[in-house]
Amino acid sequence: MNPAASPYLAIGAAVLFISLGSLFVRLAEAPPLTVAFWRVALASLLLAPWAAPAALRSVPALSPRLRAALVASGLALALHFATWIASLSHTTVAASVLLVNTAPIFSVVFAALWLHERTGARELAALGLATAGAALVAFDDAGGGAHSLFGDGLALAGAATLSLYHVVGRGLRDALPLRAYVFAVWATAAAGLLVLALAFGQPLVGLAPRTWLALVALAVFPTLLGHGLVNRALRGLPAPTVGLFMLGEPVGAGLLAWAFLGETPGALTLAGGAVILAALVVLTRRGE
């Protein structure tokens, strides 16, 4: 493999694998909290032989503040998976994936509110564009009634909690080895999802064989391979370049939903999606 081309191959494969996530969620045909728990739990178990020893060495050495941030970051990730996966039961794949990908916009807002980071004209323009795009998607979904709009709200909650996961855990990446950080956060998220699933009475066992296959595929392809390849690409490419490539996820997920689930997004969803992607391009390119 050409060393110069390998980061691009890695991020291209990552986009493909991550785009499969919504398809596997639908194929699982299980309650949202069941799917969310097993996605993270199985990924954590598969990662454990390589990452658990590093986490056991590194996490106890963290300061109390950073340990609290680790727990908060993991719980935010748990809520992200719970809300986004639930959204797919109420709205289309296209609408759900487009709206959950507004997470960087929420990160700008949270960083300004809590970290007192300056918000410039580029960030404000991106925020305005993303809001307009989300409104178009919601207006298109209004024809489906409150059910579809509830799904849009869950997808936006998934975006907000994903951005919380990033903002709260910002200092952890430098304080822990990458594999220890990923395993510790995923294990915390799995524990939080286990509590939620039990509290809401959602089944964790006795699932159909097809569901188990979909859950394993969800843990392996979009979670381990997809996000693992993103980290691989970040070693050879600037973060804004990786961010631009990741804008392919809504396109890929929408095409897969059209091909395998027969979902065709409406004209306003497509228009809103284009506006949202434009907003994310504006935001992502701020680092160039």
**Residue 147's domain spans which residues?**
6-287
Q: Are 202 and 31 in contact (CB under 8 A)?
A: yes
Cα–Cα distance list, 274 to 185, 251, 281 (Å): 32, 10, 10
Residue 145 carries which DSSP code? -
Q: How many CB atoms lie within 10 A of CB 212?
A: 14
DSSP 252-268: HHHHHIIIII-----HH
Residue 1 lies in a domain: no
The pLDDT, as a whole number, for residue 61 is 93
The pLDDT, as a whole number, for residue 285 is 67
Residue 204 lies in a domain: yes
Give the whole-angstrom CA distance, residue 288 versus residue 286.
6
Q: Could you report the per-residue pLDDT of 201-229, keeping only the tens digit for each?
A: 999 999 999 999 999 999 999 999 998 88
Give the whole-angstrom CA distance, residue 121 versus residue 124.
5
Give the whole-angstrom CA distance, residue 171 versus residue 118.
18
The pLDDT, as a whole number, for residue 79 is 97
Beta-carbon contacts of 267 under 8 Å, excluding residues fewer than 6 positions away, are 140
Cα–Cα distance list, 272 to 23, 98, 102, 134, 212 (Å): 21, 9, 12, 6, 35
Residue 41 lies in a domain: yes
Structurally, how many domains does the chain consist of? Answer: 1
DSSP 186-202: HHHHHHHHHHHHHHTT-
Taking each helix axis as running N to C, give the angle between helix 146-168 and helix 93-100, from 0 to 180 degrees, rounded to the nearest 10.
30
What is this structure's pTM? 0.89
Residue 70 lies in a domain: yes
Question: Which regions in the chain score pLDDT beneath 70?
Answer: 1-5, 234-235, 239-240, 285-288
User: Which two tokens mark 222?
Assistant: 């979009």
Q: Could you report the per-residue pLDDT of 51-62, keeping only the tens digit for each?
A: 999 999 999 999
